[in-house]
Amino acid sequence: MLVLGIESSCDETAAALVNDKKQILSSTVLSQSEHKAFGGVVPEIAARAHLEHIDEIIEETFRKAALSPSAIDAVAAAAGPGLIGGVAVGVMAGKALALALDKPFIAVNHLEGHALTARLTSDVNYPYLLLLTSGGHCQILIVHDVGCFTRLGTTIDDAAGEAFDKVAKMLGLGYPGGPLIEKAAALGDENRFVLPRPLYNSPDCNLSFSGLKTAVRKIIESYSEDDIIEHAILPEKDLADICASFQKAVTDCLVHKLQKAVHTFRNTCPNGRDVVVAGGVAANTYLRAHLKQMAESQGLIFSAPPISLCTDNGVMIAWAGVERALKGMFNTLDFKPRPRWPLDENAPKAAGAGGVKA
Ligand code: KG4
Ligand code: ZN
């Protein structure tokens, strides 16, 4: 089973060829640089850039694998959630190829792509506990099977990646913020600034990062003009300390709420043994290390995709396509791209779980 995966839901135009033997035959990712000047993704610019590059990205993906399009068994495209202009570009390209090649089409939920990647790269079995943390989403879920998720918690405001991006913008670091904050944090003192851990003591598994971001803003605003040096908003040492303190605060919240979710996971799925982190923020090595420590202290096995497969890519869509194709889960060519597409539609209930926000 060989599947072409197409990804275009945010600011990466990507394609990949993956088979059911867990082999990545080729992968091409074009990260749009057009957004850097704006400190965030501009939807209209993103859609145009996807349209401009999608054909060459798909062609290059076949060329690198030395395969002709007729070699594939199905075409999978990320069909949402995401910026609808970009999603439509990838879905149209995927449907056109499927039609021309007379192969089945698979509409993949972008979040399911993130969620299943660890099964491609590690020995992860259903059911597993998942922290899905990206630029647009931050959720804790039980993954029962393909297309079958129970959500245990979610952010009630900003996603963790969004908070990284906004704090990086405030600090004048650039976009995307996560990797830049992680780099600066490596040289900083994570105990220097006392920052809040919103919702830390709430009884549920929900998260919140908006207040944390505001707390960082207040620290930045407390600096007088004299403190501000050329080319950086803050003195280098202070900048590193803020980044480290912020990264620690986000990590503390994510680790703590995932640890809470372990309890529900155990009650709901007594045979479950895996804990997974996925999504762009999962590329953060500090966060990965702390999550691993927590999971192992609970007697669970921790897995995360390789760093290059945490941020958006075509491999994750192709692999979700493989898993769906193996179960005969195909879509018709009138499938409409979905700007909103919760993973837990038709979800089974978790044992003792309640009060999860929609
Ligand atoms: O999954 P992704 O590529 O796109 C979405 O589906 O949103 O995630 C992008 C997010 C951005 O917010 C980016 O700042 C964050 O992932 N990110 C990181 C790191 N690398 C990417 N956050 C923290 N540390 C990183 N090393
Ligand atoms: Zn993503």
Percentage with pLDDT > 70 across the chain: 96
Which atom of ligand 1 has the smallest separation from the CA of 164?
A: 14
Instruction: Evaluate: CB of 206 within 6 angstroms of ligand 1.
Output: no
Q: What are the structural domain ranges in the chain?
A: 2-116+308-326, 126-304
Please report which confidence band the pLDDT of residue 288 belongs to, taking 50, 70 and 90 as the band edges. Answer: very high
For residue 231, the model assigns a pLDDT of 54
Mean pLDDT (whole number) for 157-164: 97
Ligand 1 atom closest to Cα of residue 177: 14
Give the pLDDT band of residue 226 (cuts 50, 70, 90): low
Architecture of domain 2-116+308-326: 2-Layer Sandwich (3.30)
In the chain, % of residues over pLDDT 90:
90
Of the given ranges (65-69, 145-149, 169-173), which has the lowest mean pLDDT? Answer: 169-173
Show the 3-state SS of the chain: CEEEEEECCCCEEEEEEEECCCCEEEEEEEECCCCHHHCCCCHHHHHHHHHHHHHHHHHHHHHHHCCCHHHCCEEEEECCCCCHHHHHHHHHHHHHHHHHHCCCEEEECHHHHHHHHHHHHCCCCCCEEEEEECCCCEEEEEEEECCEEEEEEEECCCCHHHHHHHHHHHCCCCCCHHHHHHHHHCCCCCCCCCCCCCCCCCCCCCECCHHHHHHHHHHHHCCCHHHCCCCCCCCHHHHHHHHHHHHHHHHHHHHHHHHHHHHHHHHHCCCCCEEEEECHHHHCHHHHHHHHHHHHHCCCEEECCCHHHCCCCHHHHHHHHHHHHHCCCCECCCCCCCCCCCCCCCCCCCCCCCCCCC
Residue 354's pLDDT band, with cuts at 50, 70 and 90, is: very low
User: pLDDT of 76-85, one tens digit each?
Assistant: 999 999 999 9
320 lines ligand 1 (CB under 6 A): no
Is 279 a pocket residue for ligand 1 (Cβ < 6 Å)? yes
pLDDT at site 211:
97
Q: What is the mean pLDDT of residues 27-44?
A: 91
Model confidence pLDDT, tens digit, residues 194-215: 999 999 999 999 999 999 999 9
Mean pLDDT, residues 100-118? 98
Q: Does domain 126-304 have CATH number 3.30.420.40?
A: yes
Q: What is the pLDDT of residue 85?
A: 97
Single pTM value for the model: 0.95
